[in-house]
Amino acid sequence: MAFKLAMFPISYCARYNPETKSWSEKWIESDRIPYEELQKMGEDKQAAVYENRNALGLPAVSYTSQYGYGCFEGLKAFSHKDGKISIFRPEKNAARFANSMRGLYTPPFPEKKFVENCVEFIRKNAPLGYVPPYDSAWEKDSFATASAVYIRPFMNSEATIGVGIGVAPYVVICGTTVSTYFKGGNTKAITTKRIRANPYGTGNIKVASNYVISALAKKEAEDAGYMEVVYLDAVEHRFLQEGSSCNIFFVLKDKTLVTPELGDTILPGITRLSTIELAKAEGVRVEERPVPIDEVMANGIECFVTGTAAGITTIESITHEGKERVFNDRKPGELGSHLQHILKGTQYGAIPDTRGWNTIV
């Protein structure tokens, strides 16, 4: 799996002051243990270091811990063959993070400050060896199994109890190293009767509470022998929405690439946006619209999901109401593989960044 709580030693923390309407900031240096030195420690000592790094001084009782009132982001930093390090489209994450906070009616974190401190987070941790160095072996599978830094900015409310709205939130930026997101084995998906998001809810902002249902549905799918779960809409239960934590795309028989249109139940993914832009640049007809499950069960020839952690990941089949639709003989499709090659190549600097998507650290 991609995620392991191997926290980096230096993290960022800001706190909003409602009286001055400003943010106080500090860097938390839990330790300065170099990565190589940490790897030489025994498991117990390593665990103690990581536990200490995770003690960020946030209140135990808050709107966030009690009611899931919080939001977060996920973005990656990538090492390049020439030694540079870049962060992929951080300004898009900054805008989405601010929008999520506005959606929670709490003061939004400044977008410029978001980008600057994500860059500084990498600058402070990189000299201690916490950015995986570029490995030419990653090129063999178009970086599908390559390592990167997963940067996790998140908002936590002030200490309080009783349902309410945060007025003095914290914002933390921390991170860990990640690799392949999905487990090995099959890439089968199954629809679920669980509902990820309802109209007029919080499905279009990246709030913590959205992911409770995702975790339950994903566990049920895995227990049934599938890698992924796919949601349908809450009203008619026939239009595709998302995967457990990713957007979803289909190539139809006429070669059109379709994906559910954005609305109040669909998260505006940064990788989703990038995939659409790349596909259009390749001359692919792209449609963002309601996508009925019956349509892709009858006419879908390729399926993939997109996300910061997932990248562009093939889905070999979808099972719906006991019937399985197999895509491309269970092999990665031509379009998804091509777009993944361009996307990952751009992120790791193997392909020229002609769009200015990479922010160099």
Percentage of the chain with pLDDT > 70?
Answer: 98
- Could you read off the pLDDT of 81-121 as tens digits, one per residue? 999 999 999 999 999 999 999 999 999 999 999 999 999 99
Question: What are the backbone dihedrals phi and psi of residue 94, each rounded to the nearest 5 degrees, phi first?
Answer: -60, -45
- Could you read off the pLDDT of 199-210 as tens digits, one per residue? 999 999 999 999
Domain spans of the chain? Answer: 10-178, 188-347
- Could you read off the pLDDT of 162-180 as tens digits, one per residue? 999 999 999 999 999 987 6
Mean pLDDT in residue range 227-232:
96
How far apart CA 163 and CA 105 sit, in angstroms, is 13
How far apart CA 80 and CA 361 sit, in angstroms, is 11
Percentage of the chain with pLDDT > 90?
Answer: 93
> Is 3.30.470.10 the CATH classification of the domain at 10-178?
yes
| CATH assignment, 188-347 | 3.20.10.10
How far apart CA 133 and CA 242 sit, in angstroms, is 33
pTM of the entire predicted model: 0.94
- Could you read off the pLDDT of 47-93 as tens digits, one per residue? 999 999 999 999 999 999 999 999 999 999 999 999 999 999 999 99
How far apart CA 204 and CA 76 sit, in angstroms, is 21
Q: Is the pLDDT of residue 2 over 70?
A: no
**Strand 257-259 to strand 286-288: parallel, antiparallel, or no bridges (unpaired)?**
parallel
The token pair at 193 is 């009767």
* pLDDT at 148 (0 to 100): 95
Query: Could you tell me the strand order of the sheet in which 317-320 lies?
Result: 240-243, 228-232, 188-191, 317-320, 323-326
